């Protein structure tokens, strides 16, 4: 096990937490095999499947089972490279089926109701209106919003430059309404603020003149949802999901939505087509006359 740990740290360059997680998973598997009187070097696909079944029976979720299987794949690759085994027993083991996560979204009227409860007479209210309009108007992540620079808002062109995961940049179109409220915030609120050193280019600032944190954005959104009497869990990310879903429902090209969201794979963006299908299915259920007949002939 010590050699495998060195392999994880040096050759795989895994972080400390990942290394510990891998070693913990392999230890669990070793204990399972010990109970079954099976050697680590004599494992067959059937034994790995039995282990996954045991994990499932113990209440482990499919996502966690997949992580365990990943650890086993790495472990047996290591044994193969070191010539301890001649065949990888994980090769014929399929990953557990993961349920597709369909995120919650807000309807357009719900978003409007949240905007209506904002107190536009205060500097904080004007800033919060600009924040909500930007989140829903661009679909950017909350971390992208907190890092958004004032110099990256191109008012004339109608675009914002967003720095996403892995420092990847993308240009996202932004509508006239969002730009209107950003401009009002910049010209009537931000210009009068005492901005801390090193924060002069951050767009959205707190009272101390520093960029807002993710937690602060969450609290702002949560408070607005509460005031608007929206009875569901509402966080900043829901605007991203709502942005994408409403575009797909309106017939937007999936590749265009992928580009705007900054998804590296179209597969990630495709979950919004599933949301759209659920929406269409609900429309049929609610409005098709044949679905309102008690006894079908």
Q: Is 288 a catalytic residue?
A: no
Rounded CA-CA distance 149/42 in Å is: 57
Rounded CA-CA distance 120/136 in Å is: 18
Q: 47, 141, 190, 241: which one is catalytic?
A: 141
Q: 12, 61, 165, 274: which one is catalytic?
A: 165
Residue 179 exposure: Cα atoms within 13 Å on the Cβ side: 14
- DSSP designation for 59: T
Who's near 54: CB < 8 A, 6+ residues apart?
32
Rounded CA-CA distance 52/97 in Å is: 12
Q: Is 237 a catalytic residue?
A: yes
Instruction: Please state, as a whole number, how many other Cβ atoms lie within 10 Å of the Cβ of residue 11.
Output: 10
Rounded CA-CA distance 132/130 in Å is: 6
Distances (CA, A) of 142 to 4, 165, 222, 238: 38, 12, 13, 10
Rounded CA-CA distance 226/285 in Å is: 30
Distances (CA, A) of 100 to 67, 77, 155, 177, 233: 16, 29, 38, 34, 19
Q: 127, 129, 190, 237: which one is catalytic?
A: 237
Instruction: Please state, as a whole number, how many other Cβ atoms lie within 10 Å of the Cβ of residue 179.
Output: 21
What is the chain's Cα-based Rg? 25
Q: 129, 240, 241, 246: which one is catalytic?
A: 240
Q: Is 165 a catalytic residue?
A: yes
Q: Is 171 helix (H, G, I), strand (E, B) or coil?
A: strand
Rounded CA-CA distance 40/31 in Å is: 10
Q: Is 227 a catalytic residue?
A: no
Q: Is 141 a catalytic residue?
A: yes
Q: Is 67 a catalytic residue?
A: no
Residues annotated as part of the active site: 141, 165, 237, 240, 263, 272
């Amino acid at each position: 096990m010590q050699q495998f740990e060195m392999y994880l740290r040096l050759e795989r360059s895994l972080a400390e937490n990942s290394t510990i997680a891998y070693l913990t998973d392999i230890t669990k598997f070793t204990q399972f095999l010990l109970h079954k009187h099976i050697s680590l070097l004599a494992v067959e696909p059937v034994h790995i499947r039995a282990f996954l079944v045991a994990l499932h029976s113990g209440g482990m979720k499919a996502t966690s089972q997949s992580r365990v299987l990943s650890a086993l794949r790495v472990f047996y690759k290591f044994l193969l490279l070191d010539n301890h085994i001649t065949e990888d027993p994980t090769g014929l083991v399929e990953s557990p089926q993961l349920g597709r996560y369909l995120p919650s979204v807000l309807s357009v009227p719900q978003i409007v109701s949240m905007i209506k409860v904002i107190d536009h007479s205060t500097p904080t209210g004007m800033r919060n209106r600009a924040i909500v309009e930007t989140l829903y108007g661009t679909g950017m992540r909350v971390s992208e919003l907190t890092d958004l620079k004032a110099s990256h808002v191109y008012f004339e062109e109608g675009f914002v430059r967003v720095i996403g995961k892995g420092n990847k940049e993308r240009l996202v179109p932004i509508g006239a309404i969002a730009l209107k409220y950003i401009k009002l915030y910049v010209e009537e609120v931000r210009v009068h603020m005492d901005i801390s050193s090193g924060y002069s280019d951050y767009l959205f600032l707190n009272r101390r003149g520093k960029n807002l944190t993710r937690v602060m954005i969450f609290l702002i959104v949560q408070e607005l949802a509460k005031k608007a009497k929206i009875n569901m869990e509402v966080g900043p990310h829901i605007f991203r999901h709502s942005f994408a879903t409403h575009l797909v429902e309106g017939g937007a090209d999936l590749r265009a939505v992928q580009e705007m969201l900054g998804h590296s794979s179209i597969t990630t963006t495709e979950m919004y087509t599933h949301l759209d299908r659920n929406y269409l299915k609900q429309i049929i259920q609610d409005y098709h006359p044949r679905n309102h007949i008690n006894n079908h002939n």
